[in-house]
Chains A and B, each alone.
Chain A
Amino acid sequence: MLELKNISYVVEEKNSKIEILKDVNLSIGDGFVAITGPNGGGKSTLAKIVAGIIKPTSGQIILDGEDITDLSITERAKKGISFAFQQPVKFKGITVKDLLTLAAGKETSINEACNILSEVGLCAKDYINREVNASLSGGELKRIEIAMILARSTKISIFDEPEAGIDLWSFNSLIKVFENMHEKVKGSIIIISHQERILNTADQIILLGKGYVDKVGTKEEIFPDLMKDAVNVACDKLVGGNK
């Protein structure tokens, strides 16, 4: 169980304070949890705060009853938090197998690595010794990013827009990855997404507005509002365009 208590994050820019997150309170149990909402609403910031990459201005992060607010990225990773970046990182000279081994925290056999890679739709023999550098496409890097989280199989897994850039790989496969993962590990799978099909699979949807939790509920409860918002945004644009 992951709990966020009164999380705020304020950045200072040109002598003015911008509130990225305002008093966010959430409790996330086992299962699929989707976080959605407008761009710039603070979704990625929230994920980075959970992973320890960003320190909140105030508030507490509690993992299974333990306050982890002051723990480092490494310590949180060791306690079972995994985070798939929206923009995967490239490395010169480090191979796919190296990263999977580091993610698993133990020597990964070719077989194990192959299984993980085929789950994310990559043919293992073509990729296992490839360097994770600029020679890989955005979609390939994204799948490797997801594969690392699979290799870790921890109790909290956060994916920041996992669907971005993986056009050729069907959504069904991606969703299947999450389902398999949940079956194996249980735990919480937190997915930041704009995709209706991903939101559809979520047990719980968190709608993050401009830095605050707008609504939390099942898809039946959230979807009508989402649609209304989408229409409003579109209308605003149209009206704006006519001015």
Chain B
Amino acid sequence: MLEAKNIVKTFNMGTVNEKRALKGVSLTLQDGDFVTVIGGNGAGKSTFLNAIAGVWPVDDGQILIDGKNITKLPEHKRAAFLGRVFQDPMTGTAASMGIEENLALAFRRGARRTLKTGITNSERTLYKDTLSRLGLGLQSRMTSKVGLLSGGQRQALTLLMATLKQPKLLLLDEHTAALDPKTARKVLELTQEIVNNQHLTALMVTHNMKDAIQIGNRLVMMHEGQIIYDVAGEEKKSLRVEDLLHKFEEASGEEFANDRMMLAK
């Protein structure tokens, strides 16, 4: 499915601000894998997701999806294979466009944009159905501007948009971190539901260790631009938060002193 081979990325190379964000990250996902990614600030979690999405070119390494080398493809071309949800609810949607227009944009991901109408009536029916399954009442506000929605609603919509056209890989970059606990819970449940129903392959960055253990079938821990721990199956299910903290200290030789993660356990 996804093969990331020895990905290297350095920001601000040759300056005092040089930051080696990814130091040779390799990860292979099987079809249907739902992998959670944890790690402290600056571990390279988001950078790794951005490398896969093609936000900027990587310095070294290869990225393959279904055997196809996409390392040199620009971001908008890779979008054909990827569904993405970001940490900031503002990032995933176009605020000045309507709910249905946003969905229509997502529906055409990977297709050529032509002079055909931007949204057809049969699509509207489809979107209405899909939205009503969210249970947020958005199906009656199809033409409302997305800018009027709450963060949680926008994030749920972004999730729908990311999966409206079956992506080969779903990239979730701390997509519940900016939401209040209750909404975060709801969006997370929705995420699991969609991933299970559509049998998606997904990579989810989270700072919540409990979620990281409970959700998905595999867990990777990153530290200073490298994967330091990779666990799957039964072993992952039996993990406790304490085990993860211990693993981190063992692998990194440091104490896990990240407030956000400590609080989130």
Please indicate whether A and B come from the same complex rather than being unrelated chains.
no
Chain A residues with CB under 8 Å of chain B are none
